[in-house]
Amino acid sequence: MKLTDTLIKVINKAYPENEFIETNFGSYDLSLKTDDDGRAIMIFIGKKDANGKIRGERYARRLKFGSNGEVIKDHWEHKGPATP
User: Which of 43, 15, 14, 46 has the alpha carbon at shortest distance from 28?
Assistant: 46
Distance CA 60, CA 79 (A): 7
Q: What is the pLDDT of residues 20-74, one digit of tens each?
A: 999 999 999 999 999 999 999 999 999 999 998 899 999 999 999 999 988 899 8
The number of C-alpha atoms within 13 Å of 68 and in the hemisphere containing its C-beta is: 0
The residues with which 29 forms a beta bridge, in sequence order, are 24, 46
Asked whether residue 84 carries a pLDDT value surpassing 80, the answer given is: no
